[in-house]
Structure 1
Amino acid sequence: MKMYDLQSKLNTFYKNYVVLPKSGRDSLFTKKNLNINRLKDGLIEYNEEKGTDYKFAEEPIVQGSVAMSTVIQNDSNDYDIDVAIVFEKDNLPPGTTATKNVVVNALKKKTNQFKVEPEAKTNCVRIVYAEGYHIDFAIYRRYKDGKKYIYEHCGSEWRERDPRSLTQWFLEQNKEKDYKLREVVRLLKMFSKSRDGWKNMPGGLIQSVLANEQFQTYERIDERFYYTIKAIKDRLAYNKEVYNPTDSTKSLKLVSKDSTKMDNLYNRLKDKLSKLDILFTSSCTYNQAIEAWGEFFNHDYWAEQREDNKSSVSKSFATSEMDERYDYKETEEFIYNKFPINIQYQLELKCEVLQKNKSTVWLHSLLNQKKLLLPGCYLKFMASTNVPSPYNVYWKVKNRGDVAKREDCIRGQIEQTDELSHFEPTLFKGDHYVECYIVKEGICVAKQRIGVPIKVS
């Protein structure tokens, strides 16, 4: 029996009540940057006071659900922002406790306004905000083995671990699944946090691993989600062990209560999936389908979709952000997820415009003259750098604006060309941009962005 089709309603629910809006994502990154700067400034004061020279070896690395972009609205401000900070091995004290204390004491110099002081935990240093969310600084040290950096994480002891590996794994799996894995993970997390009394559920990483392992390929979002979580439930019935996808020798169940969390996920999926059985009956009505999904997600949105509650639907749409109106794949990639960043050299970007009348002009001259860059032109981007060869060159083209989203063409993938020039047509309106990166010995040592504001006459 085919499943009752409510893909449009689930898709609207997903976009308006599950996906964290751009304002929320921007707020998380603002808090992240603010506290990184606090730590940098605190380390300067600490070094001046102690006569030390502690400093980052590379730009901090966003980790966890923020890096994977699986944060959801239903987190009730209990956002866990994970940031990896990396030091050179020979620039740190040998002990993990002493290392964490350096970071704690540096942060204390710039966080006097916090009610709760920064605290050293087993695997991180934590800053807690009064609003409920917290920032975890995971500390790493690195050293070179030939031309490759080896990273070690500061926990109860130093353990070898790559700070980018899990994020890279998720992003690669999401790309392989046509950018649909993230969607399933977000919906599963929404379910896991759908009841106030539901404590002790597995964290986002375990849910992501299970969703990837059991991912079911269906065109419709409701079928894709249903059959994936059903497969997860069936799998958990006989096997509740989950291993690190980047190191299959390590379990993600670290403490005894993690087994309880896996039991809870299984039992709650089993119970609430049974409420969706009606979707597979030939007599299922629209209102019955709405009620079934409403029981599953426990969210007011579903009651508003009943045929007798149509007047309240408009209120739901009024709260959605404009940038979530369109269905488009989240294809953008970020250089910090691919390489360590340590900017040491210069990179200059210029753009030459071949206009419709076949004349050429520099983009900056065109914009300085208040003239429009219109669709139908051709652009030649040229990079120059003082990075000594050999090196690799990567380019990123990001389309922004309503047209890019409507056409499902935001792009943003990072591609290696090893060429210092790149060509692009101007297709549609939007404040787009192009970035170039120079990578030498596995490190991004130079980067630059140039804005490409395409208008309509």
Structure 2
Amino acid sequence: MGLLNDFDTFCSNIKLDNLADMKKTTEEIAKKLNTSYYDLDNETELHMYIVGSVGRNTAISGSSDLDILFDLPVNVYRQYNAFSYNGQSALVQAVKKVLKEKYTSTNIRGDGQVVVIAFDKYTIELVPGFKQVDNRFKYPDTHDGGSWKYTDPLSEQSACADCETKSEGKYFDFCHIIRSWKNNIGFKMGGLLIDTLVYDFFDINECFAGSPQKNYLEILQALFEYLKNQDKDRSHWYAMGSHQRVYNSEKGKYIGKAKEAYDKIKDLTIGSDNANKILRQVLGNSFPKVQGKTERSAQYVHIKECYDCDSASEEFIEEKFFVDIRYDVDIDCNVTQAGWRPFLLRKFLGEGSTYLRKNKKLAFFIEGTDCPKPYDVYWKVRNVGAEAIRRDMVRGNIVKESGLHHIENTVFEGEHYVECFLVKNNVCVARDRIEVPIGTL
């Protein structure tokens, strides 16, 4: 029963843990907008809706965005719909101005369809909308001269809650687990796409109703198999409840990542000696190290013992920052040595080469990222193996650097690796890792 209990611990570790704070902020915003638009003083709940992943109960610890929707009076719609040009933009700016009266020192901006409020702990994206008789919301889109569009978050929330009930409490857990996997591996995958794919998977499996008590390993193996078999060229999926299109904006990048995950865990069983080690590699450090051992989230506990006992000082990004991967970053390494032609490490390894030789200079660099500036860059170098232990050079500390490059040298053999993290507003929003295998010669 150890591994089954470890999944329970893991799911508890990654649950959203600042919902109360988010709700408090949402109530403050609702109070301000209700006063301004409805002449209702001290009203903190009416007309305000928490939507997005938090509203669907599928967000996890470290989530850096909160999506909310405020239902405005119909006369406000008539006012801005009567504009000859882009009344939608004028509406967004008007709501922004009202909120700026309350949050005078906070960065608030209008961004397309939303008002963005950048708090230190998380960013709120507020959609000003108008509730319709069918419970959808009409909202402004400021692009291309302005237009009105529709969204249906309440039906999505209802469908998710229904799946959670039918699955006897499993659906939300696996929405959380896939988010943790995405953050640990480091690639973009939208929250609505995650929830839709997990919903579809549960739907075709009859929500695993009546299945053995939380046999999460078998369900996870089947889920990764389902994800890896998706069509990377498919243009869109339909969201649960609302049936809105969820577009394949990342060209199915998650499919290849799911295949890698499936290959790692497909042969695991409840009794596998290395199950926790492999599951931590896939799902992250919040998964317990040893079967049956209860751990708090790695976000709040400094790990005093290293993984595989190589080092007592290895640092993990989850210990330093919240992790919510929202952007891509790709790193590579330029390998040079006097008298030899330079080459790129990823190409070298991709062509079937096994090891680097000693005495080479390694210049790691950020090849590209879609993360908007400003952001801070952190690097981590991890040396692995008996030689690293003998020399007391396991390392594994996370260091902030001013540039986009990091210089190392090949010194001794081992299956080493280097990681890069982009941190924005105290949240790790992008990460990448490159293996650095060094041979004996």
Category of TM-score, reference length = shorter chain:
0.5 to 0.7
Distance in 2 (alpha carbons) for counterparts of 1:318 and 1:57: 34
Closer, same or farther: CA 150–35 of 1 in aligned 2, 3 Å: closer
The answer as to whether partners of 2:58 and 2:195 remain within 8 angstroms in 1 is no
More off after superposition, 170-179 vs 58-67: 170-179
Aligned to 1:194, the other structure's residue is in SS state: helix
2:59 corresponds to: 71
Report what 1:97 is aligned to: 89
Q: Give the residue type in structure 2 aligned to 1:295.
A: Q
Q: Which amino acid aligns with 1:268?
A: K
**Contact 1:28–1:81 (CA under 8 A) maintained in structure 2:** yes
Which residue number in structure 1 is paired with residue 73 of structure 2?
Answer: 88
Q: Within 2, Cα distance between the matches of 1:59 and 1:43?
A: 10
**Deviation of 1:317 (Å):** 8.7
Corresponding residue of 1:153:
139
Q: Give the TM-score normalised by the residue count of structure 1.
A: 0.54
Separation in 2, partners of 1:188, 1:97: 36
Matching residue of 1:180 = 170
Counterpart in the other structure of 1:305: 290
Kindly indicate whether residue 252 of structure 2 is the aligned counterpart of residue 263 of structure 1: yes
| C-alpha separation in 1, matches of 2:52 and 2:120 | 21
Q: For structure 2, list consecutive stretches of 5 or more residues without a partner in the other structure.
A: 82-86, 301-441
Q: Distance in 2 between matches of 1:6 and 1:240?
A: 38
Matches within 5 A, 1:411-450: none
Q: 1:270-349 counterparts in 2 under 5 A?
A: 270-279=259-268, 286-299=272-285, 301-302=287-288, 304-305=289-290, 313=293, 316=296
> Which aligned pairs between 1:173-212 and structure 2 lie closer than 5 A?
173-195=163-185, 198-199=186-187, 201-212=188-199
Structure 1 runs (4+) greater than 6 angstroms displaced: 317-320
Q: What's the offset of the Cα at 1:315?
A: 5.7
Deviation at 1:167, TM superposition (A): 1.4
- TM-score relative to the length of structure 2: 0.56
- Pairwise CA distance, 1:162: 3.5
Q: Displacement of 1:279 after TM fit? A: 0.9
Q: Is the Cα contact below 8 Å between 1:58 and 1:87 reproduced in 2? A: no
Contact 1:57 1:88 in 2 (8 A): no
2:45, 2:26 → 1: CA distance? Answer: 18
- Shift in alpha-carbon separation, 1:161–1:154, aligned structure 2, 3 A: same
Residue equivalent to 1:340: none
Aligned to 1:235: 230
Give the distance between the partners of 2:75 and 2:36, measured in 1 at CA.
20
Amino acid of the residue matched to residue 56 of structure 2?
Answer: M
CA separation of 1:314/1:277 partners in 2, compared to 1, >3 Å: closer, same or farther?
closer
Whose helix fraction is larger, Structure 1's or Structure 2's?
Answer: 1
Q: 1:160–1:272: structure 2 CA closer, same or farther, 3 Å change rule? A: closer
Q: Does 1:112 align with 2:104?
A: yes
SS at match of 2:71: strand
Q: Is the 8 A contact 2:135 2:154 kept in 1?
A: no
Query: After alignment, is 85-94 or 119-128 more displaced?
Result: 85-94
Structure 1 unmatched runs, 5+? 48-54, 321-457
Equivalent pairs, count: 279
Match of 2:347 in 1: none
Cα deviation, residue 214, structure 1: 1.1
| CA gap 1:236/1:178 in 2 versus in 1, 3 angstroms | farther
Task: Report what 1:26 is aligned to.
Answer: 20
Aligned in 2, Cα 1:319/1:99: closer, same or farther, shift over 3 Å? closer
CA distance in 1, matches of 2:44, 2:20: 24
* C-alpha contact 2:177 2:283 (8 A) present in aligned 1: no
**For 2:157 and 2:198, how far apart are their aligned partners in 1?**
15
Change in CA separation of 1:294 and 1:214 when aligned onto 2, cut-off 3 Å: same
Equivalent residue letter for 2:48? P
**Matched residue, 1:424:** none
**Cα displacement (A) at 1:128:** 0.7
Rate the CA distance shift 1:11–1:104 in 2: closer, same or farther, 3 A.
same
| Mapped contact 1:57–1:86 kept (Cα < 8 A) | no
Structure 1 residue 192: deviation in Å?
0.7
1:141 to partner: Cα distance: 1.8
Match of 1:11 among 8, 12, 15: 8
CA deviations 1:105-143 (Å, max 9, x no partner) are: 1011111121x2x21112211101123x11111111246
Asked whether the equivalents of residues 42 and 110 of structure 1 are also in contact (C-alpha less than 8 Å), the reply is no
**Tell me, what secondary structure is at the counterpart of 1:179?**
coil
Over aligned residues, Cα RMSD in angstroms? Answer: 3.3
Task: Report the AA paired with residue 268 of structure 2.
Answer: L
Which string of whole-angstrom CA distances, capped at 9 and with x for unpartnered residues, describes residues 32-70 of structure 1?
2123224345658xx9xxxxxxx9995211111112211
Structure 2 counterpart of 1:60:
48
What SS is found at the alignment partner of 1:164? helix
- Partner Cα separation in structure 1 for residue 45 and residue 7 of structure 2: 45
Contact 1:275 1:295 in 2 (8 A): no
**Change over 3 Å in CA distance of 1:184–1:149 after alignment to 2:** closer
